[in-house]
Amino acid sequence: MLRSTLLAASALALLSGAVPSAQAEGIIGLVTKTDTNPFFVKMREGAAAAASELGYEFRSFAGRYDGDNETQVEAIESLIAAGAKGILLTPSDSAGIVPTVQKARDAGILVLALDTPLDPPDAADATFATDNYRAGLLVGEWAAAQMGDDIDDAKIALLDLSEAEITVDVARNQGFLTGFGVDVKDPNRMRDEDDPRIVGNDITQGAEAGGRQAMENLLMRDQGINVVYTINEPAAAGAYEALRSFGFADQAMIVSIDGGCPGVQNVAEGIIGATSMQFPLLMASLGVEAIHEYVTKGDLPEPTPGLDFFDTGVELVTDQPVDGLESISSAEGLEKCWG
């Protein structure tokens, strides 16, 4: 089993264009949560381009599904065995992968977390990520501004990723609620709020089918829902289908997070009100450059002031800008979107 997975993983590395160059400076490995999500596809492109530019051999690995810790452990082990210089990792299980990361660091490999911090964050040498809390905060503030004086009449549906309280899921959810002006109680826990404006939480698995079903379930609890937060844009597309089938397409505003091209297109068509765009390609290329800096000069990147990671930025995309919130239009967004 182990062997077949390793074989599959190395076959994948070959597929992703790992051509060892003659004057290779060493190996840089990328380990993503999955290879299904266009977000990680974009990340792989960014890392591969930066690595070949700087003369490194590039190898990429991926878990089989979001949350697949074992495959990521095997990937890091094989990178240790290959004597990699640096590893870029988007951890599926932020805490579970830490002992394996420590093994890699003990072997002298620089390990950078991308997109999702480790738990504890300093278990990686550095982290390049979207500030997911801020991404949620932006769409929350936007939604609050759109509601204006009617904010006390808001009825909020929260369409999360899963029930497992994954870091990204929690940060986006709590950021949104904070931005909207809801008392979130413990900011590290979802579903502990008691604000009567919240109709409920449901899970989507970050995909259209889940988004539709979750929205249907919450509409059955309260048909007056007028604010819909979604963990990502596929879930938002599913939620819109549910609203449309109930005949409520114009009643609710949908906000989301990610900045994938289909999502930005949905902003342009008024299906999603606003979305927070993140920059996977930048995360990956900055990560590769940081490894190069470390290998050649021994310098480590400094985290963004006030945060324990290097913030790769987030931009609010909407065609209904509000005062006091910087945003770009969907037309500008379509030029920057990923996937």
Residue in this structure with the two tokens 């930005």, named with its chain if needed: 264
Determine, following the binding rule CB under 8 A, whether residue 208 of this chain makes contact with other proteins.
Answer: yes
Q: Which is nearer to other proteins, 37 or 116 (CB)?
A: 37
Shortest spacing between CB 339 and other proteins, in angstroms: 6
The token pair at 321 is: 């800008």
Site for other proteins in 140-169 (CB under 8 A): 163
Shortest spacing between CB 163 and other proteins, in angstroms: 4
* Residues contacting residue 297 through CB under 8 Å, at least 6 positions apart: none
**Choice from 217, 304, 320, 329 touching other proteins (CB under 8 A):** 217
- Report the candidate in 256, 252, 220 with the shortest Cα–Cα distance to residue 154: 252
Site string for other proteins, 16-55 (x = CB under 8 A): -------------------xxxx--x--------------
Determine, following the binding rule CB under 8 A, whether residue 237 of this chain makes contact with other proteins.
Answer: yes
**Choice from 45, 77, 119, 216 touching other proteins (CB under 8 A):** 216
Shortest spacing between CB 265 and other proteins, in angstroms: 6
Determine, following the binding rule CB under 8 A, whether residue 221 of this chain makes contact with other proteins.
Answer: yes
DSSP of 149-203: GGGGG--EEEEES-SS--HHHHHHHHHHHHHHT---SSTT-SS----TTEEEEEE
Determine, following the binding rule CB under 8 A, whether residue 67 of this chain makes contact with other proteins.
Answer: no
**Choice from 74, 141, 202, 315 touching other proteins (CB under 8 A):** 202
Determine, following the binding rule CB under 8 A, whether residue 245 of this chain makes contact with other proteins.
Answer: yes
Shortest spacing between CB 247 and other proteins, in angstroms: 9
- Report the candidate in 301, 233, 305 with the shortest Cα–Cα distance to residue 264: 233
Q: Which is nearer to other proteins, 114 or 271 (CB)?
A: 271
* Residues contacting residue 216 through CB under 8 Å, at least 6 positions apart: 242, 245, 246
The burial of 153, by beta-carbon neighbours within 10 Å (0-12 exposed, 13-18 middle, 19 or more buried), is given as: exposed
DSSP of 41-105: HHHHHHHHHHHHHTT-EEEEEE-SSTT-HHHHHHHHHHHHHTT-SEEEE--SSTTTTHHHHHHHH
Q: Which is nearer to other proteins, 191 or 336 (CB)?
A: 191
Site for other proteins in 260-279 (CB under 8 A): 262, 265-266, 269, 271
Q: Cα separations (Å) of 224 from 11, 140, 324?
A: 51, 19, 29
CB 274 within 8 A of CB 318: yes
Neighbours of 143 (CB within 10 A): 26
Q: Which is nearer to other proteins, 185 or 191 (CB)?
A: 191
The phi and psi torsions of 280 (rounded to 5 degrees) equal -65, -35
Site string for other proteins, 86-115 (x = CB under 8 A): ------------------------------
Size of the site for other proteins (CB under 8 A): 36
- What angle do the packed helices 208-221 and 233-246 form, to 10 degrees? 50
Q: Which is nearer to other proteins, 25 or 319 (CB)?
A: 319
Distance CA 182, CA 62 (A): 37
Shortest spacing between CB 241 and other proteins, in angstroms: 4
Query: Which residues are near other proteins by CB under 8 A?
Result: 35-38, 41, 65, 163, 191, 200-203, 205-210, 212-213, 216-217, 220-221, 234, 237-238, 240-241, 245, 262, 265-266, 269, 271, 339
